[in-house]
């Protein structure tokens, strides 16, 4: 299995025709570097396709996921990148509202 310590989400869309080299170039452009054991997530403009680039310390892996119905809940944050927890990532790849998990989902007032 590939070890992933940190998951990063890029806010700006990526052309899904991009191969490994183009995706790696985008990672370096957006994040400044591709660090070992980090995963970098990109979506297309319609947010119904996602690519994940992972640097395993030796090489890079590129995986793609497509939703047949609906779209991924992508961030429209003004920041160019966001860090996700594993729980948030698991919800994101299923098309669920991952922003509500963690601290954002705590109810403090009735």
Walk along the chain (110 residues) in steps of 10 and give the mean pLDDT of each run. 88 90 92 93 91 93 90 72 84 81 65
In the block, which residue shows the tokens 């979506």?
Answer: 43
What is the SS3 assignment for 14?
coil
User: What tokens appear for 67 in the block?
Assistant: 């939703």
Residue 93's pLDDT is what?
83
- Predicted pLDDT of residue 68: 86
Q: How big is the CA angle at 33 (ends 49 and 25), to the nearest 5 degrees?
A: 50
pLDDT at 8: 93
pLDDT score, position 79: 64
Question: What pLDDT is recorded for position 70?
Answer: 83
What is this structure's pTM?
0.81
CA nearest neighbour of 10 among 36, 60, 45, 37? 45
pLDDT of residue 74: 80
């Amino acid at each position: 299995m590939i070890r992933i310590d940190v998951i990063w989400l890029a806010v700006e869309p990526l052309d899904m025709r991009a191969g490994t080299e183009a995706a790696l170039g985008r990672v370096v452009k957006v994040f400044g570097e591709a660090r070992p054991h980090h995963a970098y997530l990109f979506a297309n403009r319609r947010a119904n396709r996602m690519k994940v680039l992972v640097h395993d310390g030796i090489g890079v892996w590129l995986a793609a996921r497509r939703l047949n119905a609906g779209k991924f809940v992508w961030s429209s944050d003004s920041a160019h990148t966001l860090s996700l927890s594993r729980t948030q990532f698991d919800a994101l790849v299923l098309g669920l509202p991952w922003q509500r998990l963690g601290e954002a989902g705590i109810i403090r007032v009735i």
